[in-house]
Structures are given as structure tokens and as C-alpha cells.
Structure 1
Amino acid sequence: MAPTFVVVPQWQGSTSPRAMRLIDGAAAIQGDLPFSATRLVDVPVEAGDSLDTGVRRFSAIQQVRERHTRILQDTTDWALSIGGDCGIALAAVEHAARTHPGDLAVVWFDAHPDLHTPESSPSGGFCGMVLRAIIGEGPAELELAAASSVRLQNVVLAGIRDIDDAEDVLLNEHGLVSVSCSELADPAALIAAVAAIGATHVFVHIDLDVLDPSALDGLSDLIPFGLSVADLGGAITALRADFTLAGATITGFAPASPAAATDDLPSILRIIGALTR
């Protein structure tokens, strides 16, 4: 079933020097989406205030989450939310978890595990905390209802390779499943990891920095030894063959110019195609 496309040009969750380019990246992708099936979340112009939460620009992030949630609640099919920074995954996964309570696995394609809290984060950027918030251990001001969060045991990390010490402790303590970039050349290991969870529905989050910098110029973070577009597309296709897609996010497109965006768009559209065909 075709999704509703929800464009969320949030940049406030990122601490990258390229953060403002995320607005242009979201707009560039939106230009190639079907107009009648696309909704746009209004993102504040201002950066926002931390409001003593330990999260930079928290007030803007909270406002976007509320607006994103309202649009998702109006969708009749599954939604593909396109950022912006990966903080937009909070509302998107929250919506999918409410729709499929107790029956949702999350596959997190990202160079980073995004498992910080405000206390452990070296930057205060929400982009590095979003998965921790999704599992119900985020800032108190973003606390999710039990039916809207996802258990850590229902998360599979895919392609992570830039892990901070505090995140590494959590990964080791809980034995979180992680499938490496080299393993993703054959999606069998990923499919087995998701199948072991026992869920029939899957949410797919894609921060484009899971790709190798040689695959895409417009990345907000450049982390070497990532995936090829072909391997990412193959993994998505394999997931959709065995599980029902409950929602997805694509984030982290930060082109340097309109011309650079045009060069990258065919690769991004291939990823969108793998999710929606």
C-alpha cells in the first residue's frame, strides 16, 4: 500500500556544521514526491531554547514533534517521514508503536546508535538521543507512554560504526543486536535478527550517514566504511519481503548546493523506491 509522505525539515536536533543544509535537503527530496500524497510539517524558523532539559533547541524540537504527530494521526496508511535530522524519528516510531502495540521491531540504519541521554551526551544534540527516547529513556519532558515506546530488545542496529563510550556501555550491558556494514552485504543476518524478535511489523529508520561518503555527497556527517546504496536497498527489499512495513524515516540529507542535491537525488530516490515499490 502506498504511503503518505511527510516532509519534516527539522534541523534543530543536529549539531553538525551542515545542520542548516538539512532544510534544503528535505525541500529537494520533496520536489520529487507525489504532491497529492505529501504533507509538510511546519518547522519553526528560530533555533529554540533548551528549557533546562540538557537538550539543545528543545523547545523547537518539542513543537515539531507535536505538529508531526498531528499529521501522522491523520494518515490512513503507513507514513514515510523525510527529514531533516533524525530527531524526527521520535514521532514517527511513536505513531507506529501505537498502531501496532507489542508487535513492532525497529531497524535503525545509522552510523551512530543515538543512545545518549542529556547527561551522557557530549553535544546536547537530540539527534544523538532519539533512539534512547524511543525506548522510553529520554528526557522526562519527552517521556512516551508505555504503548508508544519500543523495548530495547525490539531494536536492531544496522551499520553503526561511530559509537561513544557511554553508548558502548549500554550496548554491552543489554546485548543489543547490531548488524555490521560488512554483514549487510547479504541481508540474511539482518532478517534473522529481526525474525528473532518475533514481531510481524517493522519500522525502518534510515539516517543517510549509514552510507559510505563515496555513495552520497550531501551527508551531514561523513563516517567512512559505510554501506553502498545497493546494499542498503537490498536490505530494505529483504525486510519488506518478510515483514510488514509499519513506517519509515529518511534523514540526514544536507546538500551543499541545488546542483549537488540534483546529483544525489537519484540515489535517494532508489532508497525511497525500495521502501515504497
Structure 2
Amino acid sequence: MSPRFVVVPQWQGSASARAMRLIDGAEAIRGDLPASRTRVVDVPAEAGDGQGTGVQRFSALATTRERLAAELAAASAGDDPDWVLTVGGDCGVSLAAVENAAARHPDDLAVVWFDAHPDLNTAASSPSGVFGGMVLRAILGDGCDGLALREGTVPPSRVVLAGARDIDPGEEEFIAGHGIRCIEAGDVSTPDALVEAVRATGARHVYVHVDLDVLDPADVAGLANPVPFGIRVPDLVAAITALTQEFRVAGATLAGFSPASPDAADDDLPAILRLIGALAR
């Protein structure tokens, strides 16, 4: 079943100097999506404030979460609901998107997190205080009210990290302490290990999160937080294809496109559209 698309030009969860360019990136991708199957979430224009949570720009992020949740609920209503590909913006948009998928598949959803960063900090451990580095931890139920799922919605045993290579000490400790499965970027070139890791979770449905910084910067220039030695585009396409052949896709995110300018977005769009095609097949 082909997905619906929800575009969320959220930038407030990013620590990058190019955070505002995430708006341009989301808009560039939206221009190549089918208009009849695409909705756009209205993201607050203001940065927002922390409201004592320790999360920068909390108020804007919480508002966007509520608006995205409403769009996802509408798209997934009915007896034969569509699944949704959520297009960021920063990767914090995955909070509401995973919540929606988990509500529909509460007992057998695995989350595959393609990201150069595990995003497993808390407000206390984060070096930056931005939500993009906390979102997976919030999905696992550890975060402030308004930006965290109920604990147990997705347990750590059903999370697979793929391509993470910029990991903070607190994140390393959490990964080891909770036995989270990890696939290194170099091991994604052959999808067997990734598929086996997801199979070991016991899940039949999968949520696929792709932050574009999981890719090698040689393949995509428009990255908000580039990290060297990433996954190459053909290998990521093959990995996603293997997942979609083995498991049912309950939802997906594609985030982190931050082109240097609107015109520069055209250089990266062919690679990005290949990834969307693999997710949406």
C-alpha cells in the first residue's frame, strides 16, 4: 500500500547552524511528492522557549507535536488505514509519528533508527539541550511531559540502531545497559545483519526512521549535521528494500535535509527521492 505524506518543516529541534534551512529542505521534498496525497503541518514561526523543561524551544516543539498527531490520526483512520511517511524538518518529528504507529501495532512494532546519532540523550545529559538529540529516548518514555511517550510504548528491546557513529558517553551507557541492537554503518552494505536484528525483536511491523545524516556526506551535501564514514545511498536503498520485503511498514520518517540554499537542494533530491521510493514501494 502506498503511503500518504505529511510534511513537517520543523527546525526547532535542531542544534545546527543551518537549522532554518530545514524549512527549505522540507519544502524542496514536498515539491516532488504527489499533491493529492500530501498534507503540510503548520509549524510555529517563533523559536519557542524551554518553559523550565531543559529542552530548548519546548513550546514550539510541543505545539507541532500536537498538530502532527492530529494529521496522522486523520490519515490512519478507517478500517484499511494508510501508513504515513513523515517528512521533516528535524528528526524530532518522529516522536508523534512513532506514537501513531505504535497505537496501531502495540505489540509487534520495531523501530529501525537510521541516524548518525542515536538521539538517546535526556535534558540532563544532552550537551546541547535540543530535542533532536533526545527524541529516541523520549520515544522510549524518558522525557518531559509533552515531549515523551508513555513508558513501554516501544521498549528498548524493539529498537535497532543503524549507522550511528557520533555517540555521546551517556548514550553509550544507555545502549549497553538496555541491550539495544546496533548495526554499524559498514555492516549495512549487506542487509542480512539488519534484517536479522529486526527479526530478533519478534516484530512483524517496522517503523523506519531515516535522518539523512546517516548517509556519507560525499553522497548528500545538504546535511544539518554531517558525520563522515556514513552509509552510501545505494546501500541504504538496499537495506530499506530488504526491510520492506521482510516486514510490514507501519510508518516512516525522512528528516534532516538542510540544503545550503533552495537552489542547492536540486543537487541532492535525486538521492533523496531514491530513498523515498524505497520506503514507499
Q: Which residue of 2 aligns with 1:44?
A: 44
CA–CA separation in structure 1 for the residues paired with 2:274 and 2:172: 32
Distance 2:124 2:166 in 1: 19
Identify the match of residue 125 of structure 2 among 117, 120, 123. Answer: 120
Which whole-Å CA distance do the structure 1 matches of 2:92 and 2:27 have between them? 17
Q: CA deviation digits over 1:106-147, x for unaligned, max 9?
A: 000000000000000111000000000001111234242357
Residue 166 (structure 1) aligns with: 170
- Structure 2 letter corresponding to 1:13: G
| Structure 1 counterpart of 2:46, one-letter code | E
Equivalent residue number for residue 72 of structure 1:
72
Look up the equivalent residue of 1:62 and give its one-letter code.
A
1:57 match: 57
* 3-state SS of 2:200 partner: helix
The answer to whether the Cα contact below 8 Å between 2:140 and 2:151 also exists between their aligned partners in 1 is no
Moved segments of 4+, more than 3 Å: none
- The counterpart of 2:275, out of the listed 268, 271, 274, is 271
1:146 and 1:114 map into 2 onto residues whose CA distance is 17
Deviation at 1:171, TM superposition (A): 1.1
Contact 2:142 2:151 in 1 (8 A): no
Please, what TM-score do these two structures have when normalized by structure 1?
Answer: 0.98
Deviations 1:164-216 (A, max 9, x none): 01111111112211001111110000000000001100000000000000000
> How many percent identity over aligned positions?
61
What is the match of residue 242 of structure 2?
Answer: 238
Which residue identity is paired with 2:51? Answer: L
Supply the distance in 2 between the matched residues of 1:122 and 1:135 (Cα, whole angstroms).
Answer: 20
- State how far apart, in whole Å, the 2-side matches of 1:192 and 1:225 are: 23
C-alpha displacement at 1:58, in angstroms? Answer: 0.2
**Alignment match, 2:189:** 185
Q: What root-mean-square deviation, in Å, do the aligned CA atoms of Structure 1 and Structure 2 show?
A: 0.9
**3-state SS, counterpart of residue 208 of structure 2:** strand
Letter in 2 for 1:164: D
Query: Match of 1:111?
Result: 116
From 135, 144, 147, the equivalent of 1:139 is 144
Question: In 2, distance between residues paired with 1:143 and 1:90?
Answer: 7
Distance in 2 separating the partners of 1:140 and 1:169: 24
- The number of equivalent residue pairs is 276
Equivalents in 1 of 2:82, 2:101: separation in Å?
A: 11
User: Is 1:82 matched with 2:78?
Assistant: no
Question: Is the partner of 2:267 in helix, strand or coil?
Answer: helix
Aligned match of 1:218: 222
User: Partners in 2 of 1:42 and 1:230 — Cα distance?
Assistant: 33
TM-score (norm 2): 0.97
Secondary structure at 2:112's aligned position in 1? Answer: strand
Match of 1:262 in 2: 266
What secondary structure sits across from 1:108 in the alignment? strand
Q: Report the AA paired with residue 245 of structure 1.
A: V
| Larger mean Cα displacement after TM superposition, 79-88 or 138-147 | 138-147
Q: Are 1:151 and 2:155 matched, yes or no?
A: yes
Supply the distance in 1 between the matched residues of 2:148 and 2:69 (Cα, whole angstroms). Answer: 14
Structure 1: which 5+ runs fail to align? none
> Structure 2: which 5+ runs fail to align?
76-80
Q: Which amino acid aligns with 1:41?
A: V
